[in-house]
Amino acid sequence: MGRKRYLFFDIDGTLAAGGYGNTYIPDSTIKALELLRKAGHFLAIATGRSQAMAVEYMRQLGFENMVSDGGYGVTINSELVDITPLPKEQVVMVIDECNQRGIAWALQIDNTVVRSAPDSRFDDFTHDTYMATRVVEGLDPRKCDKIYKAYIACYVPTEESLESLKSVPWGRFHKEYLFVEPSDKAYGIRRIVDHFGADYSDVVVFGDAANDLSMFVDGWTKVAMGNAIPELKARADYVTTDVDKDGIYNACEALGLF
């Protein structure tokens, strides 16, 4: 075997094509993963999704290791190590401002595929199909043991006037609401690489979106998909083709990984 590399793949727009609701894994991506494993490389997912929302992808594609929750969740050898929650004080400030302005919200308070809201207003506003929302009457972020994500129901450009958002990491993936969630995939990647005693120079990351900017850092190889945002391509060491045009396969072949 040649040089063992530690490869970390984002899911949506990188491993998976089609977008939300129409997601599929291209055949060429499945083939590339098979060849990478045969070559002896270490493979892991690196996603902004919660561990509970991503674990099925991990199993279906044969991964045993994963960075989830925007870098704050770590799964090693198919076992969840931990998920670092968001700083509760800052999330409380966001929710307080939303309450003052009559903006609906929901919270991720456990590692499940269901978020919690104090009433039905979040669902009424978003009609979201990404994940289910349960109503927990009297839900108070101050009384939550841990908060992993918050969801704020608003359209662009409402976020520009939410002062409390300046103190938390957040992103928008749906027009009806934004996510307050961790955004430091490099943090989780380093934790996994350190666990296995590997060298950062052997890391290769693959991404396409704004939440992948956090793992496009110096010290390892960065691959941007052809469908990636311009900012990510500008930081990349290599830009491949689109996810649905054999992007993963072509990048791995060009980098001599199999």
Same domain, 27 and 155: no
Output the pTM of the full model: 0.93
Within-domain flag for 62: yes
Tell how far CA 82 is from the center of its chain: 15
Within-domain flag for 29: yes
Within-domain flag for 226: yes
pLDDT digits 0-9 by tens, 139-187: 999 999 999 999 999 999 999 999 999 999 999 999 999 999 999 999 9
DSSP strand pairing (203-207 vs 221-224): parallel
Extract the tokens encoding 65: 């290791």
Extract the tokens encoding 250: 């072509």
> Is the CB of residue 146 less than 8 Å from the CB of residue 162?
no
Total number of domains constituting the chain: 2
> Is the CB of residue 205 less than 8 Å from the CB of residue 8?
yes
pLDDT digits 0-9 by tens, 30-74: 999 999 999 999 999 999 999 999 999 899 999 999 999 999 999
CATH number at residue 231: 3.40.50.1000
> Is the CB of residue 55 less than 8 Å from the CB of residue 75?
yes
**Res. 1 pLDDT band, cuts 50 70 90:** low
Average pLDDT of the residues of the chain = 96
**Residue range 245-253: mean pLDDT, rounded:** 98
Same domain, 155 and 197: no
Same domain, 24 and 105: no
Within-domain flag for 137: yes
Per the structure, the complete domain to which residue 133 belongs is given by: 88-180
Residue 196 has pLDDT above 80, yes or no: yes
Angle of the 27-38 helix axis to the 247-254 helix axis, nearest 10: 30
